[in-house]
Amino acid sequence: MEFGIYEILTLIGSLCLFLFGMKLMSENIQKVAGDSLRNFLGSITSSPFMGIFTGLTVTAIIQSSSAVTVMLVSFVNAGLLNLTQAVGVIMGANIGTTITGWIITILGFELELAEISLPLIALSFPLMMSGSRFRAIGEGLLGFAVLFMGLELIKDSVPDLSQFPHYFEAVEAISGHGVWSIVTFMLIGAVIVAVIQSSSAGMALTLVMSYNGWIGFYEAAALVLGFDLGTTLTANLAALMGNRQAKRAAFAHTVFNLVGVIAVLFVFTPLINGINEFMIASDIGSPKTNSELVPIGLTMFHTTFNVFNTLVVVGFVKHFVRLIEFIIPLRSNKTERPHLEYFNSGFLQAAELSIFQARRETRKFAELSHRMFNFIPAMIIETDKKEFEEIKERVSKYEEITDRVEVEITSFLVAVSKRQVSDIAAEEVRRIRLSCSEIEKIGDICFKMATLLAKKREEKVYFTPAQRSELFEMFKLTNDAFEHVMESLDKGEAFARQNLSRATELEARINAFRDAASDAVIEDIEKGTVNVKSSFYYNKLITSCEKIGDNLYNVAESVAGLNVE
């Protein structure tokens, strides 16, 4: 038998088809789940057991631990989850990923996969031609069918290594050396998954080879240990451009899997023997003597390994988190401001779930502009020249920050929208971009107000007590509008829609105050009772607050799901 370039490309193509099917299935399950999946993730508590349940469930749903870990790193990066919560989800995701092995073991070797794939394609096609949600279901079914077709092709395209005696000589050369053989196969498994960036594809290859008797139970189990190490690379690549908290989450995934592998190495042979005896006692047979039973034993081993790993660490989560924090300390005592990066590392990505991250970042952006706005009344009451200049400088720096943050969030959302997302998610991306645009305009207005106050100070113009009192009343109205918008951003669309009347009322009060103040200024100037320059600056600040009120109302409408252009 020859195994040349054509056969190698056929095997690679089969792997790619398997990966494409898994990617298509995973992304469209996320589309169908939509907000339900995001809200489920948002309900995670500090309890490690709740995190384990969440990680297990989400991984079982979207069939990709890589997608879950990349998503998890992005959530930690955005401040949605803390490290303790993330560790719980990591443990659950590791258990959840074993379900892929069970699906392949039960269906992949018991049924003719082509017989399943073609009916699934027949069902998926009409669904893909219908509405957006049904289209996602159809594409998910298509992904499932393509995954099965890829697995069938892998089975057919993997060469019959029994016809290559040199292969068996190489396997025998690195086998039978105790722990060193286990470590060697484990490293081979880690390299394979690091290259193809899918433990599921590595698992599929291993199951096929073990089923055909080309590798034994021990060697296959060692490869699986390596897969669990290699799969951590995806999260670490995703965290490269993240903040320190994101790097901690990715590193925690690596350390958790490494600790589990080291622990299992001490009981590797007894564990293999235990699974063998259990299968014999259950009248299944021995995977040591029957290669067709190795996939069942291997999947049992993978599940037992991940459950065992979780049981080892779950009681020491707080100490584990402290260890990670000690190894990767923050750069300073001040908490880093979480920032957004589009995680383009890894084969699978959670584009739909990235919107959850963007929502929270938009809330922080609004809070940033609110802090900037409150520098304006501080500048009015400040009498010390040095302190005044420091506040003005802070406003200037905040204005630069708001510009950068808007670009950062917009770039992130553009990258998300380029991926396949549901129509609902695409609409939400548009609304978040509109909100960020309005928030950035607030930063520009605040900078102009600070510049205006600096010019007023240079010209030695002073507000009357009445003007100052009215300005602070306008500031309070604007602050009320800020607080309502931030509460809407916190609580989401349903709350914003139910309480839009409150936003409308606040905006109307701001407009009415501006109108009354403008009329009063004109009247006072005509009477000659006030300084013209003082009135000019007073009127400019009042008008600026009214413009901010308009921007805030636009944000409130956008969060409520109304079309804002």
User: pLDDT of 277-331, one tens digit each?
Assistant: 999 998 888 888 887 888 888 889 888 888 888 887 887 888 888 888 888 886 5
Which of 327, 362, 396 corresponds to the end of one domain?
Answer: 327
Dist CA 35 CA 44 (whole Å)? 15
Instruction: Decide if 202 is inside a domain.
Output: yes
Kindly state the helix (H) or strand (E) to which residue 463 belongs, with its residue range.
none
Q: What is the pLDDT of residue 446?
A: 95
351 near 419, Cβ under 8 Å?
A: yes
Task: Report the 10 Å Cβ neighbour count for 20.
Answer: 16
Both structure tokens of 446? 């605040």
Q: Tally the domains of the chain.
A: 2
Q: What is the pLDDT of residue 471?
A: 92
CA 308-282-98 angle, 5° bins: 35
Within this chain, do residues 297 and 431 fall inside the same structural domain, yes or no? no
Q: What is the pLDDT of residue 333?
A: 44
Q: What is the pLDDT of residue 346?
A: 37
Within this chain, do residues 315 and 363 fall inside the same structural domain, yes or no? no
Dist CA 315 CA 532 (whole Å)? 72
Q: Is residue 528 classed as helix, strand or coil in its secondary structure?
A: coil
Within this chain, do residues 301 and 444 fall inside the same structural domain, yes or no? no
- How far are the Cα atoms of 68, 86, 247, 311 from residue 319, in angstroms, in the given order? 24, 14, 18, 14
Within this chain, do residues 386 and 315 fall inside the same structural domain, yes or no? no
Within this chain, do residues 215 and 298 fall inside the same structural domain, yes or no? yes
Local structure of residue 231 (DSSP, 8 states): T
Within this chain, do residues 253 and 299 fall inside the same structural domain, yes or no? yes
Instruction: Decide if 225 is inside a domain.
Output: yes
Which of 231-240, 396-405, 488-497 has the weakest average pLDDT? 231-240
- Angle between helix axes 83-96 and 294-314 (nearest 10 degrees) is 160
Within this chain, do residues 362 and 239 fall inside the same structural domain, yes or no? no
Domain CATH code at residue 494: 1.20.58.220
Q: What is the pLDDT of residue 341?
A: 41
Q: Is residue 526 classed as helix, strand or coil in its secondary structure?
A: helix
Which of 295, 327, 359 corresponds to the end of one domain?
Answer: 327
Instruction: Decide if 492 is inside a domain.
Output: yes
User: pLDDT of 427-470, one tens digit each?
Assistant: 888 899 999 999 999 999 999 999 999 999 999 988 888 889 99
Dist CA 212 CA 511 (whole Å)? 77
pLDDT of 556 strictly over 80: yes
Which of 263, 292, 327 corresponds to the end of one domain?
Answer: 327
Within this chain, do residues 474 and 528 fall inside the same structural domain, yes or no? yes
Residue 167's pLDDT band, with cuts at 50, 70 and 90, is: low
Is the sign of the CA dihedral 204, 206, 207, 208 positive or negative?
positive
Q: What is the pLDDT of residue 447?
A: 95
Instruction: Decide if 60 is inside a domain.
Output: no
Mean pLDDT of the chain: 79
Both structure tokens of 149? 């077709």
pLDDT of 5 strictly over 70: yes
Dist CA 380 CA 395 (whole Å)? 13
**Domain enclosing residue 294, as ranges:** 65-81+161-327
pLDDT of 74 strictly over 90: no
Instruction: Decide if 336 is inside a domain.
Output: no
Within this chain, do residues 317 and 408 fall inside the same structural domain, yes or no? no
DSSP 5-59: HHHHHHHHHHHHHHHHHHHHHHHHHHHHHTHHHHHHHHT--S-HHHHHHHHHHHH
Within this chain, do residues 463 and 519 fall inside the same structural domain, yes or no? yes
